[in-house]
Amino acid sequence: MSVTVDDSSPDPRTGKSIAYSPASAWNSATVCQKGPGKCTAAPNKDTLNEGTWHESTFNPVDNSSNDFPNTPLTATVQFDGTAVYVYCVLALTTSGPSGNSDMTFVIDNKVVGNFVKPAPNSPGYQYNALVYSNELLPPGPHELRIVNGRINGTKSLIIIDRIVYTFETDPTPSPPTNPSPPPDHSTQLTTSSKVTPSLSISSTHPASSNSSSPWPSVSPQGPPNSPTPPNTPHPPSPTDQPSQPQTGVTDNRKNQTSPGMIVGAVLGSLAGALFIVTALMFGRRWWQKRPHPVVPTLLPRSPPPYPSASTFYDQEPLSVHELIPPGQYHSSAVYGTTLNDRLQPVYR
C-alpha cells in the first residue's frame, strides 16, 4: 500500500510531518499567497497536491534569498516502508525565479542520490516532477533527508509538492484448521437434564418408508422451547444406545495385529521346525543301531550221491534169467529188440 505525505500535512498513517530546517529559510504556500514579493516562486496551486507547496533557495554568496547564505537547506521525513518517491515542481526560468536544481538525497544517514538540472530558460513550471525514487529499501522504519544546495555550490531552487512511500501489509492470519476435540460424554451426562436432547429409537420403519436398511432409525428430538433446530444432530448419551450390538460394524482395534503376536508366531514356527528335525535325526540313529534278525542263507541242495563208474565195473553183471524168471515173458519179448532197447544192465 502507498501513503502520500503532503508538504504541509502530517502523515495520515503515523501523524508525522515533514521537518524543514532552518524553518525560517522555507516558505509555504500560505505565506506566498499573501501577496507578491513574499516568495520567489508562484506555481499554480490547482496543479499541486492539496494546493500547497514548500520552497527554499540556496544562495552561496549573500543573504538576498534568506538569512542563511551558503547554508544547505533540508527537509526531513520519517516513514516505515520499502519504497519512497519525491515529487517536486521545477521552475524553467533562469531568473525571477532562478530554476537551477541541485538536490542531494540521504536515507538513514547515507547519501543515496542526487538531482542536478540547470533551468532551460523557458517560461512556466514543470509539475509532478519525480526527482528521486528508491524501491529497494528493506522493510522497517527509515529517515529521508532532502538537501537543497551544497556549500560553495551554485544557486538552486527547490519546490516540494509531496512525498509518497509504500509498505508491505501483513497477511491476514488464517483461522486454525485443527479439528474440534470430540465431545466429552462425561460432561454431557452431568448436563443432560438441562440441554441434552433425548433420542427416540425404533426398530421398525414406517409403512411409507422405502428404505431397506436393516438398522434402526434414530430421530433426534429437542427439548420443549429449545432454540436448537429439530434437525440438528446431537451425540447420543450412553443410555440411549441400542441394547443389541449392531452387526457389520467392526472394531479396528480387533483387526490390528500387535508386534508381540507376530514375534510369538515366528518363534513358535521355528520351535516346531526344530523339534521335527531333531526327532528325525534321533529316529534315524535308533534305526541304525537296533539289532536286526539273522536271515539264514538258503543254499541249493546237493544231489544224492551216484555210484561211480568203478562200482559198476567191479561187480559182475546179472544175467537176463536172473532178472526175469523164466516162463513169464516170451523169448521174443526177452531177447527181442524191443526188450533190449528198454532194459539196461543191472548190477548187484
Name the pLDDT band for 282 (thresholds 50, 70, 90).
confident
pLDDT the model gives residue 345:
52
pLDDT the model gives residue 176:
54
Whether the predicted pLDDT of 28 surpasses 80: yes
- Domains of the chain (ranges, CATH numbers): 2-166 (2.60.120.260), 313-342 (no CATH)
Whether the predicted pLDDT of 197 surpasses 70: no
**Least-confidence region, from 24-33, 51-60, 308-317:** 308-317
**H/E run at residue 125:** strand 125-134
* Cell matching residue 318: 546179472
**For 56-111, what is each residue's pLDDT tens digit?**
999 998 888 889 999 999 999 999 999 999 999 999 999 889 899 999 999 999 99
pLDDT the model gives residue 295:
59
User: What SS3 state is found at 78?
Assistant: strand
Task: Choose between 314 and 198: higher pLDDT.
Answer: 314
To the nearest whole number, what is the mean pLDDT of the chain?
A: 74
Backbone angles phi, psi at 277, to 5 degrees: -65, -40
Q: Are 86 and 131 in contact (CB under 8 A)?
A: yes
* Burial of 324 from C-beta contacts in 10 A (0-12 / 13-18 / 19+): middle
pLDDT the model gives residue 218:
40
pLDDT the model gives residue 159:
96
- Strand 83-91 and strand 217-221: the pairing is unpaired
pLDDT the model gives residue 119:
95
Whether the predicted pLDDT of 302 surpasses 70: no
**Least-confidence region, from 11-25, 122-136, 216-230, 279-293:** 216-230
| Residues found in the chain | 348
**Least-confidence region, from 17-26, 126-135, 214-223, 258-267:** 214-223
Q: What is the mean pLDDT of residues 242-270?
A: 66
Taking CA atoms, 67 is separated from 56, 219, 266, in Å, by 11, 92, 103
Q: What is the mean pLDDT of residues 181-191?
A: 49
- Strand 141-148 and strand 73-80: the pairing is antiparallel
Q: Please state the pTM of the whole predicted model.
A: 0.51
* Cell matching residue 261: 503376536
Q: Are 58 and 72 in contact (CB under 8 A)?
A: yes
pLDDT the model gives residue 80:
96
pLDDT the model gives residue 210:
44
H-type alpha helices, 154-258? 185-191, 252-255
Whether the predicted pLDDT of 195 surpasses 50: no
Give the CA radius of gyration of the chain.
67
pLDDT the model gives residue 221:
47
Q: Are 49 and 55 in contact (CB under 8 A)?
A: no
